[in-house]
Amino acid sequence: MTLQVFGLPVSRGVAIGRAVLVASSRVDVAHYFIAPDQIPHEIERLRQARDAVADEIERLKREVPDDAPPELVALLDVHLMLLHDETLTGATKQWITERHYNAEWALSAQLEVLARQFDEMEDDYLRERKADIEQVVERLLRAMSRQSVSTLAAVSQTRERDWGGEEPLVLIAGDIAPADMLQFKRSVFQGFVTDVGGRTSHTAIVARSMDIPAVVGAREASRLIRQDDWVIIDGDAGVVIVDPSPMVLEEYRFRQRQSQLERERLARLRHTPAVTLDGEQVALLANIELPQDAPAALAAGAVGVGLFRTEFLFMNRQGELPGEDEQYEAYRAAVEAMQGLPVTIRTVDVGADKPLERMSMSELRHEHTLNPALGLRAIRWSLSEPSMFRMQLRAILRASAHGKVRLLIPMLAHANEIRQTFEILARAKQQLRDAGVAHTDVEVGAMIEVPAAALQLPLFLRHFDFISIGTNDLIQYTLAIDRADEAVAHLYDPWHPAVLRLIADAIRLARQAGKDVSVCGEMAGEPAFTPLLLAMGLRSFSMHPSQIPAVKQRILRSDTQKLALHLASVLASDDPHAESKRLWTSGREAAAERAFSP
């Protein structure tokens, strides 16, 4: 039966494929495809875990005190029986051999299947046995996580590329941590759906950087959609259609072909300089997460990297952070890949929805920090770990010997943080000089992403060579909306007059001071905001490479002088979005924008 699930559109286009469900288990589970030659190894891991759990349960049985209720032993017997039941272990092996899932993923996929069967049972007693199967699987997953730290590292190279199937796949998950999303980056998946997340959550950002359709905040999706269901992801409207009729399927296949044609048409703009009708040159830069993203930036016609989010190098490392040489190699790789174009490297921005270790949003919200977005994040974390920070600065400075590097500092708010940052930077430079290590004197910029920084911009302009406005966080902190929380996503409004006022003032003041200013939040890559940002005087936009062609098209059709005439009326309006559409948007463009607008 066809059903529709609604969420937030975060990455455009249409994806059609079979659902691969990543269940949110109580035990944190890694999901990756294994190479075919690793199938016996994964099955062996499953067997070892089963033996270990059987021993554990046998031991528990022996230790049951004589006066304990007899049901306790009976329960342990049920667990032993379930443990050896073919519908659990036999079917799990099938997920491993046929789908090439790693053992943990295979087990949680099978749990999902069994849990649904239990839910549908008429008999109360049998239905309640679902809790037992969950407990047994949990024991197995825990046993596997005890064996798996080294295994994880060993197979990390094989993730994703080993899917041997023919049919397109789409990923459906309760939640995907940004670090896991990154592992799916070069994956076989044609689209993503998650139950949680907001439009500018980092999971959504990485999905967008992959340029594949995605819907987040779809609440019940992972409960309503089953393994192998055919699914259409409409990334423009934020709708997921499960088990579509042939007619609906045909309609979406048509839309898919149309959007492919549109992409091909826009791709032809790659070598066209981004110059407005009145001759204003605009720099279109790329946001990247890994050095491997640099070729896509060049291919899209980016004139440099405006934001390299280095924190993705720091994630999921089981407590062992990258050392100076490893970081240096990564930064150098990005710089060399950009072939002489500038690369803006941002120091690590961990915390909030980008924890160092794999962690679900619910764990983050409820168990770790009361309010991670307001906690020890970005520069606050770096300043609390000065030797780590110095190490990263040295690695970035060393990469500057291989091309044009600019250094960017995230989340600054206090004069004191600025002072400490420069002290640590001076010390890092001194250390390199003392050791005779090559580096150059890089430009240093500040992210303006906390209202306190935007309101005190002259301080920042005095200390820094350039500023980069991080609208994702600036909106989050101005409107007090957690950008990763789907429950308040409807209030996350980039068009809010207070937000626009902060951005307009920052651009104006930076230009007056003769300092370079760019926007590197998601607004920069959204064509709906291009006329507005141009009118504000912005001439440097940084975005995912895939967004560059559409923004460039908008720039080519714009006249900044005409746009600027109406800026005051948009900023003064109670409804700047409506006003900007009235003044600046053609009918065709308006239709395309509706999907993204709040």
Active site residues: 202, 520
What's the rounded Cα separation, in Å, for the pair 419 and 193?
43
Contact 260, 26 (CB under 8 A): no
Interface with ligand PEP (CB under 6 A), residue from 221, 520, 532, 551: 520
In the bound complex, what is the minimum distance in angstroms from residue 381's beta carbon to ligand PEP?
13
Question: What DSSP character marks residue 348?
Answer: P
Q: How many CA atoms lie within 13 A of 276 on its CB side?
A: 22
Q: For residues 38 and 542, which CB has a smaller minimum distance to ligand PEP in the complex?
A: 542
Q: Which does 403 bind (CB under 5 to 8 A by kind): ligand PEP, Mg ion, none?
A: none
Q: For residues 17 and 355, which CB has a smaller minimum distance to ligand PEP in the complex?
A: 355
Q: Which does 579 bind (CB under 5 to 8 A by kind): ligand PEP, Mg ion, none?
A: none
Contact 548, 274 (CB under 8 A): no
Q: For residues 195 and 289, which CB has a smaller minimum distance to ligand PEP in the complex?
A: 289
Residue 240's SS3 state is strand
Contact 523, 496 (CB under 8 A): no
Strand duo 230-234 + 239-242: pairing: antiparallel
Which residues from 182-241 bind ligand PEP, rule CB under 6 A?
205
Interface with ligand PEP (CB under 6 A), residue from 449, 482, 493, 579: 449
What's the rounded Cα separation, in Å, for the pair 537 and 85?
67
Interface with ligand PEP (CB under 6 A), residue from 301, 521, 527, 549: 521
In the bound complex, what is the minimum distance in angstroms from residue 449's beta carbon to ligand PEP?
5
One-character DSSP codes across 489-507: GGG--TT-HHHHHHHHHHH
Interface with ligand PEP (CB under 6 A), residue from 12, 31, 45, 309: 309
- Ramachandran assignment for 351, one of left (phi > 0), alpha (psi -120 to 50 degrees), beta (any other): left
x/- contact string, 436-465, with Mg ion (CB under 5 A)?
Answer: -------------x----------------
Q: Which does 471 bind (CB under 5 to 8 A by kind): ligand PEP, Mg ion, none?
A: ligand PEP
| Bridge partners (DSSP) listed for residue 272 | none
Q: Which does 83 bind (CB under 5 to 8 A by kind): Mg ion, ligand PEP, none?
A: none
Percent helix / strand / coil, the chain, rounded to 5: 55, 15, 30
Which residues from 463-482 bind ligand PEP, rule CB under 6 A?
470-473
In the bound complex, what is the minimum distance in angstroms from residue 519's beta carbon to ligand PEP?
8
Q: For residues 139 and 377, which CB has a smaller minimum distance to Mg ion in the complex?
A: 377
Q: Which among 565, 576, 541 is positioned nearest to 555, based on CA atoms?
A: 541
Q: How far is CA 57 from CA 69, 86, 284, in A?
A: 17, 18, 61
Q: For residues 402 and 483, which CB has a smaller minimum distance to ligand PEP in the complex?
A: 483
Give the dihedral of Cα atoms 426, 427, 433, 434; nearest 10 deg.
Answer: 160
Is 446 near ligand PEP (CB under 6 A)?
Answer: no
Task: Give the distance between the most distant pair of CA atoms in the chain.
Answer: 89
In the bound complex, what is the minimum distance in angstroms from residue 286's beta carbon to Mg ion?
16
Q: For residues 172 and 307, which CB has a smaller minimum distance to Mg ion in the complex?
A: 307
Interface with Mg ion (CB under 5 A), residue from 473, 482, 485, 486: 473
**Site residues, Mg ion (CB under 5 A):** 449, 470, 473
- Which residues sit at the interface with ligand PEP, rule CB under 6 A? 205, 307, 309, 349, 449, 470-473, 520-521
